[in-house]
Amino acid sequence: MRTCPLLLYFFLIFVSQVISDPDPLQDYCIAQPQNSQTFFVNGAPCVNPANAEASHFTTSALSKPGNTAANPLGFNVTLTNIKNLPGMNTLGLTMARVDIAGNGLVPPHTHPRASEVTILVKGSLLVGFVDTSNRLYTQQLREGDSFVFPKGLIHFLYNLESRAPALCISGLSSQNPGAQLASSATFTTKPSIPDDILKKAFQINGQDVSRIRKNLGG
Ligand SMILES: *[C@@H]1O[C@H](CO)[C@@H](O)[C@H](O)[C@H]1NC(C)=O
């Protein structure tokens, strides 16, 4: 079959447009705080550019550690978003501060809309991701090391130190990366995925299903 080069060209343009957040058509679009939203856009409406301030482009949201004790796995993720950093609206970016207690774990999860690059600021981490052929890529990070998790792939971060907390800062390639934990997306959904499905999928029995649900707080 012969492929029309022009069609191929438009197809490639189309693909390059759908694999990341859309490019902004203006310098910025500072998110407008809304009380009652009456119309809906992909992102948030912009404030009048004449009212733009430097403060719209700065945030202290990541300056304080998250409370890792509030979570049984010992991690806490603090994100920038259009509320605490309205100037990032439409720019296709999010930053995250990830605090992980001693032997704490950010469990296997995906970001359906973003690749993530992380830099270990403090501590010692074992990080890894799994590609679509189920190959696992892991790396032990020391302070100052970075690692990239490709878009949509399952990944985790584990603090190898039993006492010292770890801190990393991540950049994500979407203003709304989304996060889906593999464990909660299967065992603690609302409503529940029927037991028969989980039994078959994980090759376990009904008691196993109940125990895992209960352990995960479902
Ligand atoms: C993360 O830390 C913040 C700040 O201490 C706290 O308000 C929040 O509840 C914590 N989140 C989780 C999921 O533990």
| Whether the CB of 107 sits within 6 Å of ligand 1 | no
Look up the CATH number of domain 19-185: 2.60.120.10
Q: How many residues does the chain have?
A: 218
Task: Output the six-digit token pair for 155.
Answer: 């990944």
Residue of 71, 76, 78 with the most ligand 1 atoms within 8 Å of its CB, for mutation = 76
The pLDDT confidence band at residue 193, using thresholds 50, 70 and 90, is: very high
* 79 closest CA partner among 179, 1, 12: 179
pLDDT at 10: 59
Given a contact cutoff of 8 angstroms between Cβ atoms, the answer to whether 148 and 119 are in contact is no
Nearest residue (by CA) to ligand 1, atom 4, is 66
pLDDT at 169 over 60: yes
Q: Cα(89) to centroid of ligand 1, in Å?
A: 24
Q: Span 119-148, mean pLDDT?
A: 98
Given a contact cutoff of 8 angstroms between Cβ atoms, the answer to whether 48 and 55 are in contact is no
**Distance in angstroms (rounded) separating the CA atoms of residues 31 and 46:** 5
The pLDDT confidence band at residue 124, using thresholds 50, 70 and 90, is: very high
Q: Cα(3) to centroid of ligand 1, in Å?
A: 54
| Whether the CB of 76 sits within 6 Å of ligand 1 | yes
- Mean of all residue pLDDT scores within the chain: 92
Q: Cα(71) to centroid of ligand 1, in Å?
A: 8
Given a contact cutoff of 8 angstroms between Cβ atoms, the answer to whether 61 and 80 are in contact is yes
pLDDT at 139 over 80: yes
pLDDT at 22: 80
**Distance in angstroms (rounded) separating the CA atoms of residues 43 and 53:** 20
pLDDT at 86 over 70: yes
* 154 closest CA partner among 125, 126, 181: 181
Q: Cα(104) to centroid of ligand 1, in Å?
A: 15
> Domain map of the chain by residue range?
19-185, 188-215
Q: Span 180-192, mean pLDDT?
A: 97
Q: Going along the chain, which residue ranges are E strands?
A: 75-79, 94-100, 105-110, 116-122, 125-130, 136-141, 146-149, 154-159, 166-172, 180-181
Binding site for Mn(2+), residues? 109, 111, 116, 155
The verdict on whether omega for the bond into residue 33 sits within 30 degrees of 0, i.e. cis, is: no
